[in-house]
Amino acid sequence: MIVEKMETALNEQINAEFFSAYLYLAMAAFFEEENLSGCAHWMELQYREESEHAMKIYKYINDRGGRVRLDVIEKPQDKWESPLAAFEAAYKHEQYITGRINDLMKLAVELNDFTTQSFLQWYLNEQIEEEANVNSIVQSFNLMGNDRRGLFMMDRELKQRQGSADIKKQ
């Protein structure tokens, strides 16, 4: 059985993960409007991944005999000044989520909740990957500056990203 304080914090994280998904879907829509289908594709896959993260916590709470409580999802920003600004916002958001996951781990340690500590280890490792992936894209955008050909190439490269379902098919 999960401790109520941990259950509440995990429910709040479900909301944060669904907000992340909603934010990335808003970014995908922005990129579609800007005719950057590769960037949109990358963000659509990110949307799916964040939804999966939320559902993983949802299942964990249920498996531990807790109660999932869904809350209102805040409206995300829907326009950015440039593709770089959108990816910088994504990077900043991933850093925020990393902080939230760290706080969850601190709480699990404080409560001597070893099962939740084990569960959260996956999220800690995942956030290393999330931050590194987005930061790499930000750095690439910074390197190309205002070169429109670079933007074209970057958009094509981002279109090559495969989702977890695509990888499993191979």
Reported pTM: 0.92
Residues in the chain predicted with pLDDT less than 50, given as ranges, are 165, 167-170
Contacts 24+ apart (CB under 8 A), 149-153: 151/36, 151/83
For CA atoms 137, 120, 104, 109, the dihedral sign is: negative
- Give the domain 4-73+80-162 fold: Ferritin (1.20.1260)
Asked if residue 158 lies in contact with residue 44, where contact means CB atoms within 8 angstroms, the answer is: no
Residue given tokens 């958001």 in the structure block? 93
Residue-range domain boundaries for the chain: 4-73+80-162
Q: How far apart are CA 73 and CA 38, in angstroms?
A: 26
Asked if residue 78 lies in contact with residue 25, where contact means CB atoms within 8 angstroms, the answer is: no
pLDDT at 170: 42
Question: pLDDT tens-digit profile of 92-113?
Answer: 999 999 999 999 999 999 999 9
Q: How far apart are CA 168 and CA 66, in angstroms?
A: 31
